[in-house]
Every structure is written in C-alpha cells, then in structure tokens.
Structure 1
Amino acid sequence: MADIADYNHEPTVDPRRLRLRTNRPAEPEGHEPVTEEIPDPYGVGVDALAAAEGQSVRASAPTTHGSLFDEATSPALTRPAQWGWRGRLNAALGTKMAPKQDSTETGYRAAIEAIQRTLPGSGVVTVVNTKGGAGKTPTSITLGATLGKHRGRGVVAVDMSESGGTLGIRAARTTDVERTTWDMLGNASRLVSAEAEAGELASYLRLQPTHDEILAGDTDASYDGILGKDECAALGAVLRRHRDLLIVDTAITPQAEAWQWAVHNADVLVVPLPMRRDMAQHAHAMLEGLVKRGLDHLVRSAIVLLCVTPESDPNLESAIVDEFDALGVQTYVRVPFEPVFASGERITLETLSQTSIIAWTNVAAMVTDALAEAISDRRVWQRPQPIPVATEESETPTFMPEEPEPTPIDPAVEPDPAPEPEPVFFVTVDPAALTDSPAEPAVDDAAPDTEVHQPPVHSRRPQPPQPSSFNPYA
C-alpha cells in the first residue's frame, strides 16, 4: 500500500507552449482533412468541442507513478522542521533543525511539491463507482479542495450526474444565487466567445475557501432536462477554456451519456472503494467493462482509494487487491474514514483530522503525477506523423516526400527551346606522372572532419485502437 512517508513523484514537466495547441492530432501533409459532423446545440463552436474529443487515445505501455525527487535542492529537506520534537525545539529555541529524511513531515512536503508541479496542459480527473454510497461526491470535494489549496485557482469540481447530484449540497460554501450546469449551458456560446472576459465564468461557479470552485448540478425535480453527451461536451468546452483542471463527479449509471462522456474524456480515474463486498463487486464489474471496451489504459492508471468504514471487513482488502490486480490496476491508497463523509453535512477541508489531511494530500500528489503522465502521453500521440512510402529496394516503409505535381502545359503558349548541351573536353594524362608523384585527394573545405553517418530509417509508430462503443446492445 502507498504511504505518504515513502511517496515519490516524477520530475516536473514544463513544456510551456503546449497549452496553446489544440488537443486534436494534426493531419499529415498531403492528406485531405477529415471533416466530422460534431453536434453543437449550445453554440460553443466546433473547434472548442473538438479540443475535448479523442482523449481516450493513449499509449499501450503501463503507467507508473513517481520517481525520486531531487533531494539536494528540494525545500522539503532544507526548511526547518515544524512537526515532532524537532519542530518544538525549533519553535522554542529558534534553531533550524531540518526534519528527518524519511519522516512523515518530509513526505508531506514532497507531496505538496508534487501537487504544485507544472502540468503540460489541462486535465480531467473522473471519480467513478457504479455503486451508490461509495463516496464519489466527498472524494470529488476533498480532492478538489486539496488541489485548490496547493495549486490555487484553476481547479473546478463539476457535477455531471445526468439528473443532478449532491455536489453543490455537500460543498463547503454556496452563493446567494445558486447557478447550476443549466445556467452555464444557457450562456455557453457567450462564455467561449472572444468577447468573454476572464472573470465571467466565476459568476456561474461557487468559490470555495481552498480556492477551488464548484459547478453544481440542478436538483430541481420540476425540470425535465437531463445531461447528455452534447451537454457534457459543451460544459467541458467552456470549463477547459477558462480553467486548468476538472474534477468530474459522476452518477451510477454506466449506460448514461453523461457517464460515458466523463469516462471517455478522462485522463485519470479515481475509484473510491469502501471495503465492502458489494462495493468491490460493483467497482470490479465497472473496471472489467472498461477493459472490454478498449479503455484498459484508464484501468492501469486508475487510483483506487481503499477505506475501512464501520461496516467494512478489513480482511477483504487482500482479496480486493488480488482481483483488481488481474484487471491491471496498479495503484492503491488507504484513506482514513471520516464521519462527515457519511453524515450528509457540508465538507470543509480544515475540519478533517490531521491524518486525513495528510492522506488526501498524498492522494492529490499521486493524481497530479498521473495527470502529468497522461497529458504528456496524449501530446506524444498527437504529434504529426510523416507519411510512410514503400520503396522498391526494401519492403520496409520509409519516409519519402511526395513528388510535386507536374505543371500543366498550356497549348497556346509556345514552350521555350531546350538549352544546348555544354561541350565535353577530354584531357590526356600521362600514367607515369601519376605513378611518380601521386596527387593528394581533393579535400572539401565545407565537409566535416568526422565520418558521415546516414540517418536511420524509422518505421511509423502504430496508433492504438479506438475504444469500442459503450452501447451494450450493439
């Protein structure tokens, strides 16, 4: 099991200019652009919708989380200790003793550094479990609050339950005018336009004490609309236009369009799992279904949060890990039980226990690391690929530029006469002169002194298969 004391994160990835690029793969030169009909009933623009599509394409290599951070320069090891007896001595005597390298305080600081790393683009974290009461909404709120506390503005938790969930009810803070997803959809075209100001979106969100924001679902039972694929795509386009990181709270119906959109466009899955047999069976069936649908990369990078609740069976943990390992899950984290999660009251990060705060900081750090890997991997697959052309000498495809098309000849214009060939001169050389005084080979001044190597020929990297349909009746 992962523990905050021995948590390690990967080196920071900082390709600063990539965020300005589109998320869709570029078409190779010489190919006609593929025109796709994307429904846009909310007027957010086809380009904005297209930027959020195709997120399920990933590399097939296993995903890992973490490598040792640079201990020599990390402030986690150089700042004076504040916890334990070292912290008490520093506070009482004014000393500056650093914490122990393998202490809980050092691990907590390393997790914060991981959360604050620069991501190579915007990301989507989807919280899923098809069993009600698994803790998806408390997980979404706590994870968003932890990320917002250490990353600042740019983190939004959004309720994408098809008929409106309890995200707005459980959030720490609300507003006088409680706007919901349908209010944002009614103004989606304005919010993605060039005339929209940066602060306009804030009026539709609820700023939390930890600087993250909440987009609540509409729980009005008199309203007949439900969130479908078009609605979720429009919400995603608006939020990604103004924010960096989305935490998506889902419902329990995998056949619903909103659930499918949230999973297909996820970079990382977070699966809250109280250690109960029925919870584990639902979560296992859900992940197994994702593997069958071609989304095994999401299962491999999923982060399963194991929690021992009062009604849990602690002996069930080993069986859960064994069964989930067979599906490809690699990351499990124990999180403490918090009574406020099950009470139905509003969740505030500062009211949680110190143990829970440390554990959720660890979870947020692992999510950030997984996001950085997934976004970077997505960028690699979206780089334009050269066109493979097979040559006669070898059956191996090589990359050759296309020949330009010949210029059409106008019969009304008389062609220019062909140039006369230059005369060829023959010089007679005495063989004895070559034998007595051999001439030095000519040296090209512009040629390098080192040996010239031909560039290797690379075959085109195969693209991963597209995920299959979610339609169980197809």
Structure 2
Amino acid sequence: MTTDIATPSGTGPYDADTPPWLVGPQLVGPQPGQVDDAGDAPVGEVDLSGIVPPPAPAVPPRPPLAQHGVGSQQAAAPTPVYRPAAQTAPPQPAPPQSSPSQPSPRQPAQPPPLRQRPVQPRPSGQRSGPALDEVGLIRKARRPPVRGWRRAVHTLSGGAVNPGESSAELEYRDLLDHVRQPVRGDYRIAVLSLKGGVGKTTTTIGLGSTFASLRGDRVIAVDANPDLGTLAQRVPLQTRSTVRDLLADPVVARYSDVRAHTSQAPSRLEVLASERDPAAAEAFDEDEYRGAMSILQRFYNIILTDCGTGMSHSAMRGVLDLADAIVLVSSPALDGARSAGATLDWLGGHGFGHLIARSVVVLSSARPGASSIDVDDLTRHFLTRCRAVHEISFDDHLAEGADIDLELLGKRARRAFVELAATIADDFGGTVLRRHPPFEG
C-alpha cells in the first residue's frame, strides 16, 4: 500500500510498510523557520519530548578490524538512526580508555617511543672546545738556514731539502728577541771606568751601534768626558756641533732640530760630541748635563753616556743621578780589576749603591792572546756584586782607533756585543723604578 505524502522536493509515493522514522527528519512536520499554509509567522520548534520513537531494530555487532588496520574483513555499512529534527545531536560519548597494555581495537597499537639521552644545560661561560687562538690553524714553515753546510744543502736542492736552522742559530735568534724588547720612556746607560785605556769609548760605540742596528727606535751616545773625549772620533763626522751648541739652540722642537747637532754611524747610532777645547770642557757641569738630557729624552729611547775617568767632577754627579744602569769597563788584568772594584766601592760610599746591583762588568781585551789572569775566577768575583759579567775579546778592527763599523767586526766580538745588549735589555722593564739619590761629595 502506497500513499502520496508531501516531501521537500514535492509529493511522492509513500510506502505504508516503511516505518516513519526511516524516512528522515524532513518528514516530520514543518521545519523551524518555515511558513505554514495560513501565511502565519514561521513555525517555532515543535516540542517532541512526548513522542517516544519505537525501538530501533537490532543491528548485528560489527566484527573488529584486524590489528594495525590490515584485516581481510570489511566494515559493515552504517545503519541509519532516527534523530528528531527539533533536537540537536546528542553529545558523543568519550571513547573508552584503553589500558596501556591492551591497545584499542579500532586504532593500531603504537610502538613505544625511543629513549633519548637527556640534554644537559651548558653552564654559562663554559666553552665546549678550544678557542681559535689556541688552535694551530696555520702550520709554521721552517726557516731556511743562512750559513754553513745547511745553507749549501738548501741551495743545491733548490729548496726541496730544508735541514732547518742549527741550535746556534736558534740561540742567536733568542738573543735578538731579548735585544728588541720594548722600553718604556727612555733608558739611560752610563759607561764608566776609573782607569783609562781599557776600552770604555770602544764599548760605548759597540754597544750603542748594536742597539741601533737591531732595534727600530732611536739610540744616541753623549760624550761627557771633560778631558777631551774621543767619542765623536769613532764615527763618521757629519757636523762640528757639540753639546754646548745644542743647549744654545733657541729652537729645539722637533727631532730634526736635534739631528742637526749629531753625527750618525752606519749602524744608525747618533753621537753628540763634547767640547774639543779642554779649558771649555771643564765648565761643562751638572746643570748643563741635565739640560741636555731633558732635550734628548724627548726624542731618543736609549741614551748612552761616555763618562770620564774622574768620578768627582761636576758632570759625573748628574750622570750617575740620572742613570738607570751602569756598564763598568775593565781589562782582564789585575790592575784593571782593582780599579773596577774601587769604582764599585766609590758608588756604594757616595749614595749610588742601588746602581751596583744593576751594573754589568765588561772585561775588554786590549791586546791579542790569552790573559795571564784566570778570567773565570775574575768573573765569579764580580758576580758576587754585579748583575752580569761579559768578556769582549780582542778584535783588530776595534784596535784601530778609527771609525767602528759592525760589519767589519769579527764573529766573536760582534756576538759579544749582542750578548751584552741582550743582558742590558732584560732590565728595560725596571725603568719605572728609577731613583735619584742625593750626591754625597
């Protein structure tokens, strides 16, 4: 039996045998928001709480899917369920909580997560590896040898074989590093001796030339000998100006103003000569020496003073008062050693004892051949009072009494001056400890 009923799409046959709740929500009266036939206001929601729908037919249970979703059975078609139009969809119940040991039948069991190593927080300021300045990023090339059979092998092989520097060359390079130590301000060295003819002026030129040739700063030697000093005669004469002319110059504001009064050796050592007239030189006193030092210290880093043999004249007072260190020159002979010891005693007795501990003794040989004095015993004697002792062997070029050129020195003499300069340069850091004790005549 069929009956025509009104549907949203029109009228159509209705099978009486079909239950009304299977037709759908559109079959239950007017929907909210529609207008009835009488043209009234939209129909409100219909209270269907009193209508009890008949029970739904029993639906056979759905067989469970195979684990991990790979089963041969297919899911059954969904069964239509009657839902009143006036009511909202009932809340879906929460899925049952499955135990951790028994996975849900509808969802595949997930494998347990991998255990990861916990990340420890890094303390602030702690680094995990060496810094770039601690890593040898560049492999240092070996220096080629400069002399001997090592140099010959390196040259003949075209640089393919590099035996490197010898131990003597490495030691000499270490000496050069000591000589080139930086100096703060100006460093003043007084070269003195109570006995003449022991090589005091020669030592001054040799030491000053070594500093000037191996360092990049300015080095000058001042002749403070009142007895017609010969310091300016050991370098090429470029000017006849003296220390008096420098003091009388009204305009000394730049280095070039001072350079006009000095002579320069091939080693770049500059020399400021003393008065050539012995009568005028006697008037060179302490005040004039201090005035010369106040000018030179503005333009030179190392200042050497060639002192006379007299320890009590006026200029010596200013020399010792302004000195940072002294070089005591003696000959490897008994009389020279006694004069050097008397000089140390005089310094200790006249308020200059602080210079004894910073003094360096130079044993200069004035003639060839070995000395009859045991130099080793003499060295140990002076080391009990002084900082160091150096020996400068006889050299033909130094004995000429003419201009001194380091390139013409023998290997032993030149090496001796480098060692002497390295010893004195080790004290450059103590210039801030300069003392000016009162002079006790």
Which interval holds the TM-score relative to the shorter structure? 0.5 to 0.7
**1:242 partner SS:** coil
Q: C-alpha separation between the residues in 1 aligned to 2:272 and 2:266?
A: 15
Superimposed CA distance per residue, residues 153-195 of structure 1 (whole angstroms, 9 cap, x where no aligned partner): 4100110112430001122x111x31111111111x532xxxx
* 2:223 is the counterpart of 1:159: yes
* 2:243 is the counterpart of 1:181: yes
1:41 — aligned with what?
none
Q: CA deviation at 1:92?
A: 2.6
Per residue, is there more helix in 1 or in 2?
A: 1
CA contact (8 A) 2:204 2:306 kept: yes
* 2:274 is the counterpart of 1:217: yes
Q: CA deviation at 1:146?
A: 0.7
Aligned partner of 2:297: which letter?
R
Q: CA deviation at 1:210?
A: 1.0
TM-score normalized with structure 1 length: 0.59
* 2:433 is the counterpart of 1:377: yes
Greater Rg, structure 1 or structure 2?
2
2:356 pairs with one of 299, 302, 306: 299
* 2:338 is the counterpart of 1:277: no
CA contact (8 A) 1:90 1:96 kept: yes
1:168 pairs with one of 232, 241, 252: 232
The 5-angstrom pairing of residues 22-421 of structure 1 reads: 78-93=142-157, 94=159, 95-100=161-166, 103-171=167-235, 173-175=236-238, 177-187=239-249, 190-191=251-252, 196-221=253-278, 223=280, 226-310=283-367, 313-326=371-384, 328-370=385-427, 372-378=428-434
Q: CA deviation at 1:340?
A: 3.3
Q: C-alpha separation between the residues in 2 aligned to 1:233 and 1:257?
A: 11
**1:310 partner SS:** coil
Q: After alignment, is 177-186 or 232-241 more displaced?
A: 177-186
Q: C-alpha separation between the residues in 2 aligned to 1:78 and 1:335?
A: 33
Q: C-alpha separation between the residues in 2 aligned to 1:319 and 1:261?
A: 34
Q: C-alpha separation between the residues in 1 aligned to 2:279 and 2:312?
A: 23
Does the C-alpha gap of structure 1 residues 333 and 366 become closer, same or farther in structure 2, counting only changes over 3 Å?
A: same
Q: C-alpha separation between the residues in 2 aligned to 1:303 and 1:313?
A: 20
Q: C-alpha separation between the residues in 2 aligned to 1:325 and 1:113?
A: 24
Aligned partner of 1:92: which letter?
L
After superposing on structure 2, the runs of 4+ consecutive aligned residues of structure 1 that deviate more than 4 Å are none
Aligned partner of 2:248: which letter?
G
Aligned partner of 2:242: which letter?
T
Q: CA deviation at 1:241?
A: 1.4
Does the C-alpha gap of structure 1 residues 130 and 222 become closer, same or farther in structure 2, counting only changes over 3 Å?
A: closer
Q: CA deviation at 1:307?
A: 3.1
Equivalent pairs, count:
300
**2:356 partner SS:** helix
Q: CA deviation at 1:224?
A: 6.2
Superimposed CA distance per residue, residues 204-240 of structure 1 (whole angstroms, 9 cap, x where no aligned partner): 1112211121111121346465311011001101110
Q: C-alpha separation between the residues in 2 aligned to 1:222 and 1:329?
A: 36
Q: C-alpha separation between the residues in 1 aligned to 2:281 and 2:147?
A: 54
Superimposed CA distance per residue, residues 16-75 of structure 1 (whole angstroms, 9 cap, x where no aligned partner): xxxxxxxxxxxxxxxxxxxxxxxxxxxxxxxxxxxxxxxxxxxxxxxxxxxxxxxx9xxx
CA contact (8 A) 2:228 2:276 kept: yes
Gaps of 5+ in 1: 1-71, 379-463
Q: CA deviation at 1:259?
A: 1.7
Q: C-alpha separation between the residues in 1 aligned to 2:426 and 2:163?
A: 30
Q: After alignment, is 220-229 or 236-245 more displaced?
A: 220-229
**1:248 partner SS:** strand
Does the C-alpha gap of structure 1 residues 252 and 87 become closer, same or farther in structure 2, counting only changes over 3 Å?
A: same
Does the C-alpha gap of structure 1 residues 238 and 149 become closer, same or farther in structure 2, counting only changes over 3 Å?
A: same
Q: CA deviation at 1:343?
A: 3.0
TM-score normalized with structure 2 length: 0.63
CA contact (8 A) 1:275 1:317 kept: yes
Aligned partner of 2:304: which letter?
I
Q: Percent identity?
A: 25
Q: After alignment, is 314-323 or 140-149 more displaced?
A: 314-323
**2:260 partner SS:** helix
Gaps of 5+ in 2: 1-135
CA contact (8 A) 2:226 2:281 kept: no
**1:131 partner SS:** coil
1:8 — aligned with what?
none
Does the C-alpha gap of structure 1 residues 242 and 221 become closer, same or farther in structure 2, counting only changes over 3 Å?
A: same
1:19 — aligned with what?
none
CA contact (8 A) 1:275 1:306 kept: yes
Does the C-alpha gap of structure 1 residues 266 and 344 become closer, same or farther in structure 2, counting only changes over 3 Å?
A: same
Q: C-alpha separation between the residues in 1 aligned to 2:241 and 2:176?
A: 32
CA contact (8 A) 1:163 1:227 kept: no
Q: CA deviation at 1:251?
A: 0.3
Q: CA deviation at 1:319?
A: 4.3
Aligned partner of 1:248: which letter?
T
CA contact (8 A) 1:155 1:244 kept: yes
1:469 — aligned with what?
439
CA contact (8 A) 1:77 1:106 kept: no
**1:127 partner SS:** strand
Does the C-alpha gap of structure 1 residues 77 and 248 become closer, same or farther in structure 2, counting only changes over 3 Å?
A: farther
Aligned partner of 1:339: which letter?
D
CA contact (8 A) 1:137 1:167 kept: yes
**2:251 partner SS:** helix
CA contact (8 A) 2:224 2:308 kept: yes
Q: C-alpha separation between the residues in 2 aligned to 1:77 and 1:265?
A: 46
Q: C-alpha separation between the residues in 1 aligned to 2:180 and 2:399?
A: 30
**2:402 partner SS:** coil
Tell me the C-alpha RMSD between the 2 structures.
2.4
CA contact (8 A) 2:199 2:364 kept: no
CA contact (8 A) 1:83 1:105 kept: no
Q: C-alpha separation between the residues in 2 aligned to 1:209 and 1:331?
A: 29
